[in-house]
Amino acid sequence: MSFSSVFRTSLIAVMAIAGASVSSTAKADSGIVRISVLKGGWIIGGSGGSGTLTFQGRRYPLSIGGLSYGFVFGGSQTYLTGRVTNIRNASDIAGVYGAAGAGGVVGGGARAIVMRNEKGAILQLSGKQTGLMLNADLSGMAVSLR
């Protein structure tokens, strides 16, 4: 097999793979997310809340739950809004999202986070946190459709 035919075959294979990945990405969509989460703890923390996903003109109720471990002290209420990207249908938002972080709030403050689940959905959220909370921890958040 000559060099030019190997090169041509390789080029066709690369173009086919690139075309397949572009077409699957092009079908992905995004939605708007609004959630409210209560968090509290001492060393081990827990969180729970609810929210909504607005996707393709429909609203879907969400349940939020999670655990954190590390340095966690206090309690807070957090209201977050933002986008979920890389979803093809509403059920793609469901899953476990992980994050490592540190922060604190005394009274009130801003909060922002970007997380990804096992299906590839990406949450980009920001908002307001109130309460007394200090943390440097690993945390996981489970999102499910109700």
Provide CATH code, domain 28-145: 2.40.128
Residue 141, pLDDT above cutoff 80: yes
Stretch 65-90: mean pLDDT: 92
Domain boundaries, the chain: 28-145
What is the model's pLDDT at position 99? Answer: 76
pTM of the complete model: 0.76
Render pLDDT for 4-49 as a digit per residue (tens, 0 to 9): 554 445 445 445 454 544 444 457 899 999 999 999 998 888 999 9
Render pLDDT for 115-136 as a digit per residue (tens, 0 to 9): 999 999 999 999 999 999 888 8
What is the model's pLDDT at position 17? Answer: 52
Give the mean pLDDT of the chain. 83
Which backbone phi and psi does 90 adopt, to 5 degrees? -60, -35
What is the model's pLDDT at position 12? Answer: 54
Stretch 97-126: mean pLDDT: 86
What is the model's pLDDT at position 2? Answer: 55
Per cent of the chain over pLDDT 70 is: 82
